[in-house]
A and B are shown apart, each in its own frame.
Chain A
Amino acid sequence: MRDIETPQAAPQTPEPAKPSYLADGHTVASWIFTTDHKRIAILYALSITVFFFIGGAAATLIRIQLFTPHNTFLTAGQYNRLFTLHGVVMVWFFLVPSIPTTLGNFLLPLMIGAKDVALPKINLLSWWLYLGGAALTIVCLVCGGVDTGWTFYTPYSTLYSNSCVLAAAAGVFVVGFSSILTGVNFIATTHMLRAPGMTWFRLPLFVWAIYATSIVMVLATPVLAMSLLLVMVERVFSIPVFDPRFGGDPLLFQHLFWFYSHPAVYIMVLPAMGVISEVIASEARRRVFGYQAMVYAMVSIAIIGFMVWGHHMFVSGQSPFASVVFSFLSFIVAVPSAIKVFNWTATLYRGQIRFAAPMLYALGFLGLFTVGGLTGLFLAVVPIDVAVHDTYFIVAHFHYIMVGGTVSAFFAGLHYWWPKITGRLYSEWWAKFAAISMFLGFNFTFFPQFILGYLGMPRRYHQYPDQFQIWNVLSSSGAVVLAVAYLLPLAYLTWSLFAGRRANANPWDATGLEWTTASPPPRANFETRPRVTSAPYDYHDPDVGPTQPNQPPRQTQAAE
């Protein structure tokens, strides 16, 4: 807190050895009441890790149950509560906050050359709201859990479910406001606090990604909040909102929910795209191919992403003509994603490609995101969606993008910026090993689910007809590999904190302002206010190309 902060002399006299933000106060209060964006990033990182493993434990139990067709390991009621918990926790308490609140919080001010985010106290409030939402979710768990599915469809959630819907919905409501405040903060930061010379088209793509994500957070999340509020009101006060007996329309809930939840999938994938752009450019030692196209692609995903939500409702009883419109727009929104995949691929062309652990995760992302995205296109086709809606095909599609894509990217970013965040280097061998096992384990777990889905196995089934068993066994076995692969980083990253080699300011020889300051950075981020004089990703002379391996970047984007 304030009084513990080092009472430094005036900033004009640069002192070489400012203490890092980690050394700036050691009490618990200096952490949980900090307004330092870097410390808040760490707080978030710890919180979402806890929730990732809660969600992962639920996934583990789900996969154990599905090992055999008529398993009685879990009762139907327990199973329903588990997949709901898994979905709710993984989406709102892990994946939505994951990259933005950890890497985004840590790096956004660093990358644009600012001392902090625009509203540091609001940033802290966001984290406390996250905790509040998390606490409500735990309350819900303790009271027996919730069994509506993460989608809270009415009238089941309002009139029929005998579970703790209220606490769960309230938890998501609260965490929604956490994400809104984060979005507000990041947008204001990006607009107001860029260092001199940091024009819009000199922003690193990660900043653009966070910016686009924040727009979606700010404009989509309130609709989720309202739809959940309506569910809570209908459930508690029996005020009919969606109740068909009194003229309400259950589909209205679905419209409102997906108005948020489709854009939310872009909240989950845009930051990942930002991370991948940074990692690939740095590891290929090349300027990102088509920088401007990448920017426009992300912004158009953020905007068009709001107009496609009805593709979740093709068989819901929505008008078939509306389905035509939504199908069309779903194709359109895929174009910018395609552009991004092509640009990443083209960035590799004529590079000096290194294969450090972050790059392996990034390549994993590239493959898995493409598979997930392509199957998304299948689903945008009405007759195919009519066949596979609410089957494991859907489950496979979104795990490919969210787990194969975003979680891989999260790990890529975590490894890439780990030296900056902690000042330590992890074991490269273990990191590569984990990356490869994650990729293999992932495909092993989720590829069989495409086949299951095509054969018609419905999702949210706690027991299933015998003919599906073989694929489920494969999937469950893969999940074991995956679980181990996810536990590995926990071990070697923790180990690196204590025994890892110290990292210098720029271990990857990368461009970007965050690499011009110390690892870990001082409380105020930079010794002097940086000034930016050139385009991002200045890895090589554009007229020559990266001619030598490990050529250091041209030092044009740096502190004054």
Chain B
Amino acid sequence: MNAFYLPQASTQAHAEDRIFLTLLILSGVVLLLVLALVIGFSIRYRAGSKARRGPLPAWISHEVEIGWTVATFFLFLFLFWWTISAQLRLQIPPANAFEIHVVAKQWMWKVQQPSGVREINTLHAPAGIPVKLVMTSQDVIHSFAVPAFRLKQDVLPGRYTEMTFQATQPGTYQLFCDQYCGLDHSAMIGKVVILSAADYAHWIAAQPEGDSLAAQGEAIFVSSGCGGCHGQGAAVHAPPLEGLYGSDVPLAGGGFVHADEGFLRDAILQPRKNVPAGYEPVMPSFQGVLSEDQLVPLIAYIKSLKAKP
């Protein structure tokens, strides 16, 4: 970290810097052109100078006007097309990204690795593969920002947002909260530690032995009494959760909804929102009962339940 240079540590950073540089050169040229004309005219046509000031034929002003309007328009059209196609390429989430969960609260970042390791204000991640952060906030809006990756994503309460990056170089990078979130907004900073795949495996192994995220979730599943309805042989007619994640769930009101994390979250906190076809809406809401920290492993657990053959 120094005052003149920001490392390019992700594939996105390379793409973004290319665009930035191109725009910088282009607008530099435009700016110089405008300044050159303004200064040039100012000198040449200063009051009383000898320069010729003949009439301007009407067609000149007309053609010129249309000319630069059309030119600017098409230039902008091209710029838009070029930058947005780069963006659309970047934003397609890779199918099997490595998933890490982030819960933000005033004023800290809580990280839950898939292995169950928890971190605060630090995020370890492997280099070279796509990593998907699934993030939510316990209170206000925060923003997970890593300048070296040229990436950021707001983290909202009541909802999951995602950010996918692929780090290119191992190293330690600054993590900022970029969305104003109250008193200690400027202290909500941390670091992202990128390790090579092997080092990452080492690092995980070196952490104190603990349950994986899904295993922690199973415990919460049991202690919250979910099994009483969703378990084998329960008295209540509740949908089985095996193989639910990633499937398309038919709804009581007609239509389907794709069962992603947001769906699972809503199913637990706002069960009336999407009632699956064929079931009575009797599931209680766990809003206020389960914290964001507990939801993360719980959802990880439900995701891990594979369909029974």
Contacts and interface: CB of A to CB of B under 8 A. Distances in A.
Given A156-B140, A545-B55, A352 B48 contact: yes
B70 to A, nearest CB: 10
Interface stretch (A174-182, A258-266, A387-395): A387-395
A458 B19 contact: no
Category for how many chain A residues contact B? 35 or more
Contact of A315 (B2, B51, B152): B152
Secondary structure call for the A interface: helix
Given A245-B158, A383-B86, A371 B56 contact: no
Interface string B73-110: 10011011001101110110000000000000010000
Contact of B45 (A247, A353, A370): A353
A462 interface: yes
A385 B189 CA distance: 20
Contacts of A324: 84, 87-88
Interface string A324-357: 1001100110110011011101101111111100
A542 B186 CA distance: 60
B37 A345 contact: yes
A261 to B, nearest CB: 15
Given A250-B141, A381-B23, A543 B48 contact: no
A464 interface: yes
A76 B147 contact: no
Contact of A542 (B13, B27, B55, B148): B55
Given A155-B140, A351-B45, A382 B182 contact: no
Contacts of A250: 141, 156-158
B159 to A, nearest CB: 7
Interface in B147-191: 147-148, 150-154, 156-159, 161, 174, 176-187, 189
A387 B147 contact: yes
A377 B145 contact: no
Category for how many chain B residues contact A? 35 or more
Contacts of B291: none
B23 A353 contact: no
A335 B76 contact: yes
Contact of B180 (A153, A366, A454, A550): A153
Nearest to B144: A315
Nearest to A352: B47
A390 B15 contact: no
A345 B41 contact: yes
B224 to A, nearest CB: 18
A222 interface: no
A84 to B, nearest CB: 9
B156 A460 contact: no
Interface in B186-216: 186-187, 189
B143 interface: yes
B182 A147 contact: yes
B170 to A, nearest CB: 19
B73 to A, nearest CB: 5
A325 to B, nearest CB: 10
B42 A363 contact: yes
B294 interface: no
Contacts of B148: 456
B80 A378 contact: no
A394 B37 CA distance: 28
Interface of A: 76-77, 80, 147-149, 153, 155-156, 159-161, 244-245, 247, 250-251, 284-285, 289-290, 293, 315-317, 320, 324, 327-328, 331-332, 334-335, 338-339, 341-343, 345-346, 348-355, 363, 366-367, 370-371, 374-375, 377-378, 381-384, 386-387, 389-391, 454-456, 458-465, 467-471, 542-547, 549-550
Given A377-B79, A458-B178, A545-B53, 15 more contacts: A76-B184, A76-B186, A80-B183, A245-B288, A315-B153, A324-B87, A328-B80, A332-B76, A352-B47, A353-B46, A370-B30, A387-B147, A461-B186, A465-B1, A544-B55
23 contacts: A80-B182, A153-B141, A293-B69, A315-B153, A316-B156, A317-B159, A324-B88, A327-B80, A345-B41, A350-B51, A350-B56, A352-B46, A354-B47, A366-B38, A383-B87, A383-B90, A386-B151, A458-B178, A462-B186, A465-B174, A470-B3, A545-B54, A547-B53
